[in-house]
Structure 1
């Protein structure tokens, strides 16, 4: 059950690599539930297809999530350099297409990704374009619009297009990264004074319309999510953000996945064990580790040890693992 909660990145780019057989073994033995690609994992489309074929076979009856960030524009891991047709950024899509055109664009993208063996795309971005000088969202055209209704419309086209190909999507970055002045990849990001209630709206609308397969929790600090007397934690580690607001308030009972647990916003402020325990207690179902700080396929065992030790110590933590497992399996059942 705990293994299903772990998704990791890897360092190799070929099915012939010794690392590939070790990664496949982690999937076969249930120590991880999914893998994520970064750009350096993609040497050629043939190599990608071969690796994914082995990943899918290793999962047996329960498909592993094979995930990638393929938003369009700058944020694409599959590129024309390896022969993959790229698509425009979210901003360009919203400025130049209607919803039907966007749906066709994303359906074609998803079909081509599925053909390579991917089943999960970390998108759409549903952050609002609030801060025009935002260094990670606005700068790269990753937001559809400053208006919640327009973001919802094009995010729906993204989700529907991927569902037509049998792929899972992940809305990001809850509760909203569009107003931030800094980048959570690098360190602490405080949105307390810039965030607005409107940033909830695309998430709420997509949840209400059954368009939220998975939601990615951002490493974004908001003072409203802090329990009095508690340590300052980002939304991704906050029970107020993920359980009180997202689950209880918005009625989301799907899978919550953390943003990369190796980003500076986490690693510079929390220890390894503390971050994992806080993430699960907050309400995350899947812990995403890019495995880029000190790349090692021994990482899953370190994560599992923390999860199992805490589950033995705390029965309520064990119940959280069981609940996460149920949600993950329910999501994965749609892939079969």
Structure 2
């Protein structure tokens, strides 16, 4: 497939396969001629003179950093002295809920509607701010709220895309959103806007997570889903930027390289939804795509996050990481270095699922790490402030 087959509106933006490869910074992650910057781009702040935390002190800086973290935890009911409750009281930005624990295969946070509603209420009451309560509720196989814990079954995105009916999509999305709002969730890591270009893809195609291989079908159905969420006060995260549809592996467990299979048409759903105003946040994947960056995975790449997503596609809102404890990056870079690289790349929300490893110290250790990065001048507090502003816009109203 070549650029002649791409929709004309994509070609007009200069994001065909060759154009992407030639974008400033879409190589080694640096550029002699900086890409055009949009409001809120982190690139300028990381080049400012280094220095210690600004007036307000280290405690203020730690609170800012904490507000950027979304963390998973074990427990269907929490005591006041549980580590996650302490983190929430101290300003943790958000939590992520799971039905099962990956390590133990036991129920994790959800066993019944009444139970999880009470759990979420306790967390929100403990928070001094507007806590992000997040979940993966895509429909089909990827649903944390499902019949096993007392919630209705939902059709997959593949089923909905095959129907490609506005009324069907809207009714389906309303069912998903009703389950979310009934327990107090305000951020859903959905919809998946990957193109189903490899039906054997173990992370997307085989699980029925894509609406279609046709960008127009994906855009139409994703737009409906986002609007239904918004009408109920629930924010969404488009995933997995810059496109996971051709993958042959799962980034949760191994490095996935789509360099030889990825096509620039996979950017079209993201570009269209950004331009139409139907994006709340964008989740960037840990995949390796040497067409965009020859060495760094997308989630850690300034070329992908800053130059392409923010600079060329014009995204000004929050960028969400995939699980920062995923083997795809932790095995190569280590957690602390991956966090540093993600923030340098322009990521705003750092998600720690606490599934592949379980670390009750993850919040304190990450705060220590990022404060140290500011002390050493690798990051500036102004860079942290940019992310705080973007994430605040993602938070629910009280």
TM tier relative to shorter chain: over 0.9
The equivalent of 1:90 in structure 2 is 157
**Structure with greater Cα Rg:** 2
TM-score w.r.t. length of structure 2: 0.79
Residue of structure 2 aligned with 1:33, choices 86, 90, 93: 93
Does the 8 Å contact 1:34/1:65 carry over to 2?
yes
1:335 corresponding residue in structure 2: 397
The aligned residue for residue 195 of structure 1 is 262
Question: Could you tell me the TM-score, scaled by structure 1's length?
Answer: 0.94
* Residue pairs, 1:247-262, within 5 angstroms: 247-262=310-325
Which of the residues 284, 308, 321 maps onto 1:217?
Answer: 284
Aligned counterpart, 2:23? none
Structure 1 stretch 274-283 or stretch 88-97: which is displaced more?
A: 88-97
Shifted more, 120-129 versus 47-56: the winner is: 47-56
Please show how residues 226-237 of structure 1 align to structure 2 within 5 Å. Answer: 226=293, 232-237=295-300
Deviation string, structure 1 residues 130-159 (Cα, Å, up to 9, x no partner): 012111100010000001111000111110
| Higher helix content, 1 or 2 | 1
Q: Which deviates more, 305-314 or 38-47?
A: 38-47
SS class of match (1:207): helix
Which whole-Å deviations, capped at 9, do the CAs of 1:237-276 have from their partners, x for residues lacking one?
0000000000011111111010001111111111121101
Higher relative contact order (CA 8 A, sep 6+): 2
Residues 128 and 146 in structure 1, CA contact (< 8 A), matched pair in contact too: yes
- Matched residue, 1:167: 234
Structure 1 residue 97, shift from structure 2 partner: 4.8
Structure 1 outlier segments of 4+, above 6 Å? none
Answering whether residue 103 of structure 2 is matched by residue 24 of structure 1, we say no
Distance 2:377 2:96 in 1: 30
Counterpart of 2:74 in structure 1 is 11
Distance in 1 separating the partners of 2:369 and 2:378: 14
1:224 match: secondary structure = coil
Partners in 2 of 1:303 and 1:225 — Cα distance?
A: 28
Q: Aligned residues, how many?
A: 327
Match of 1:282 among 334, 345, 349: 345
Q: Render the CA deviation track for 1:149-196: whole Å, top value 9, x for unaligned.
A: 110001111101111110010000000000111111111111111000
Structure-2 residue corresponding to 1:81: 148
Contact map agreement 1:14 1:43 (CA 8 A) in 2? no
* The 10-residue stretch of structure 1 (286-295 or 68-77) with the greater mean CA deviation from structure 2: 286-295
Partner of 2:113: 45
Unaligned segments of structure 2, at least 5 residues: 1-63, 101-108
Equivalents in 2 of 1:64, 1:299: separation in Å? 18
CA deviation after TM superposition for structure 1 residue 18, in Å: 6.2
Query: Structure 2 residue aligned with 1:152, among 214, 219, 228?
Result: 219
Out of 101, 104, 109, the residue aligned to residue 168 of structure 2 is 101
* Stretches of structure 1 lacking an aligned partner (at least 5 in a row): none
**Counterpart Cα distance in 2 of 1:234 and 1:188:** 9
